[in-house]
């Protein structure tokens, strides 16, 4: 039922709905002849079913402030319960726009047709209310699920905020180290650039020295070749000494010249060998220095690699922090959305509370009116009770007077009875005397 309506139900439909809803187990005969106990119990069950009556209201409990206005509260328990139930039924039916208004007579001396009308209105409202609750139940479940998600998101956000704070603290703690590492990396890069330049210059000088060493090797090989030739010529000259002294003398002079030239060449070769040995020693020293520089360059390269790995880790951590910042923003957006929904729910709750307060005020006003009415009726009943007491006193006086009159009448009746008995006795005596005198006076009339 999408819209609330108030159609008239038949007795069979009312009985079926009450039995299906497990509100009450009744029959159509009960509806055809309703009484006060039956309708009060049925109305109470229906009001419980639609959540319009609470347990303390059902038992008719009064507040202590209200008890002060009654002289004998125990005498008014049942009447207060009836009045409260009547007011509650009347308010409920009035809020349902029932075509007929509910009166106290409909509760104390119910009529079948009016009872069926009021039961139809309440049952239709119960069916409409149940349909609305079934329609709103998924929304309420979804709202509960969203609230649970909101709590989980808030917990996740707080956890992420804590992690972000830890990361920020760690970043602040590691920032001097990172700056120091950056300074060392820059210094190492400058050192590497200077060492690379030094290595290039040393390689160029090494190539030049290698070229000079090649030239010296070539000169040494030429000098050795010349020395071998001079030895061969010396041997030839020795073989020619015997043959010609003059020639030998000339040859010796020539050989001396050649030997001096060979000695000079040997000196030059020795000098070149010494130069080459010094160059080799220089090369060895340069090689040792270059190996040391290479080891230093490897260590520097390892430091650079470690610095790069640290920088890479730092960039990864920075990217992770940025991703978590994006996630924080999305969670903040969700949180804002959930807060907006929570505000809407708060507004709806405040509106419902206002409606509840308004209804409570109306109910309080109605209760005050009923209380004033009950108080006026109580005063009227007290006046009536006084009148009744006066009437009772008067009746007692009249009763006592009647009793006295009755007693005097009884005495008179007793006297009359005795007198009548005497008259009857005298009559019998007279009749007997008449019977004796009758045969003698048959022609004469009897004179009484």
Q: What percent of the chain has pLDDT over 90?
A: 0
Percent of the chain with pLDDT over 70: 84
Q: From CA 98, how far away is CA 91, in angstroms rounded?
A: 10
Question: Half-sphere exposure of residue 395, counting CA atoms within 13 Å on the CB side?
Answer: 6
**Tens of pLDDT along 126-176?**
888 888 888 888 888 888 888 888 888 888 888 888 888 888 888 888 888
Read off the pLDDT band of 241 (50, 70, 90): low
Mean per-residue pLDDT over the chain, rounded: 77
Report the distance separating Cα 204 and Cα 194, nearest Å.
15
The band of 227, judged by pLDDT with boundaries at 50, 70 and 90, is confident
Indicate whether this model's pTM tops 0.75.
no
Residue 71: what pLDDT?
Answer: 58
Query: How far is 296 from 294, CA to CA, in rounded Å?
Result: 5
DSSP assignment of 230-291, as one string?
A: HHHHHHHHHHHHTT-HHHHHHHHHHHHHHHHHHHHHHHHHHHHHHHHHHHHHHHHHHHHHHH
Instruction: State whether residue 134 is helix, strand or coil.
Output: helix
- Check the CA dihedral 259-261-263-266 and report its sign: negative
* Rounded mean pLDDT, 392-411: 77
Per-residue model confidence as pLDDT tens digits over 315-349 = 787 787 778 778 778 777 877 887 787 788 878 87
Q: Does the structure show a pLDDT above 60 at 67?
A: no
Q: Does pLDDT of 448 surpass 60? A: no
Asked if residues 272 and 216 have their Cβ atoms less than 8 Å apart, the reply is yes
Residues 89 and 125 sit within 8 Å (Cβ to Cβ) = no
Mean pLDDT value of segment 196-201? 84
pLDDT category at 63 given cuts 50, 70, 90 is: very low
pLDDT band at 247 (very low <50, low <70, confident <90, very high): low
Alpha helix (H) residue ranges in 96-111:
105-108
So what's the pLDDT on residue 445? 45
pLDDT value at residue 306:
75
Q: pLDDT band at 64, cuts 50/70/90?
A: very low
């Amino acid at each position: 039922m999408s819209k609330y309506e108030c159609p008239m139900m038949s007795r069979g439909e009312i009985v079926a709905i009450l039995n299906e809803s497990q509100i009450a187990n009744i029959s159509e005969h009960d509806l055809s002849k309703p009484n006060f106990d039956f309708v009060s119990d049925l109305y109470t069950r229906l009001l419980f079913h639609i959540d319009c009556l609470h347990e303390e209201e059902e038992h008719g409990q009064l507040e202590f402030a209200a008890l002060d206005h009654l002289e004998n509260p125990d005498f008014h328990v049942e009447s207060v319960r009836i009045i409260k139930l009547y007011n509650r039924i009347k308010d409920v039916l009035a809020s349902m726009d029932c075509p007929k208004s509910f009166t106290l007579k409909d509760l104390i001396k119910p009529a079948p047709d009016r009872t069926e009308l009021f039961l139809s209105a309440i049952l239709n409202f119960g069916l409409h209310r149940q349909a609305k609750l079934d329609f709103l139940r998924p929304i309420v479940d979804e709202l509960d699920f969203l609230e649970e998600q909101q709590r989980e998101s808030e917990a996740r956000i707080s956890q992420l905020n804590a992690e972000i704070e830890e990361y920020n603290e760690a970043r602040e703690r590691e920032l001097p180290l990172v700056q120091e590492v950056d300074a060392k990396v820059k210094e190492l890069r400058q050192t590497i650039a200077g060492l690379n330049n030094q290595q290039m210059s040393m390689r160029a000088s090494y190539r030049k020295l290698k070229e000079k060493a090649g030239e010296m090797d070539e000169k040494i090989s030429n000098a050795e070749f010349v020395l071998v030739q001079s030895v061969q010529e010396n041997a030839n000259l020795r073989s020619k000494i015997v043959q010609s002294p003059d020639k030998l003398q000339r040859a010796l002079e020539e050989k001396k010249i050649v030997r001096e030239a060979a000695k000079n060449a040997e000196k030059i070769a020795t000098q070149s060998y010494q130069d080459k040995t010094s160059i080799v020693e220089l090369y060895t020293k340069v090689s040792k220095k270059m190996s040391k520089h290479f080891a230093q360059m490897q260590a520097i390269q390892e430091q650079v690699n470690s610095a790069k790995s640290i920088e890479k880790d730092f960039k990864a951590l920075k990217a992770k922090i940025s991703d978590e910042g994006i996630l924080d923003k999305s969670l903040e957006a969700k949180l804002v959305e959930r807060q907006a929904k929570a505000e809407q729910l708060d507004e709806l709750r405040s509106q419902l509370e206002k409606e509840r307060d308004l209804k409570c005020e109306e109910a309080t006003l109605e209760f005050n009116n009923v209380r004033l009415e009950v108080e006026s009726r109580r005063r009227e009943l007290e006046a009536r009770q006084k009148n009744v007491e006066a009437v009772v006193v008067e009746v007692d006086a009249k009763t006592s007077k009647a009793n006295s009159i009755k007693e005097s009448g009884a005495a008179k009746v007793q006297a009359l009875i005795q007198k009548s008995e005497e008259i009857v006795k005298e009559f019998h005596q007279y009749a007997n005397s008449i019977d004796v005198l009758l045969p003698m006076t048959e022609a004469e009339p009897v004179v009484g």
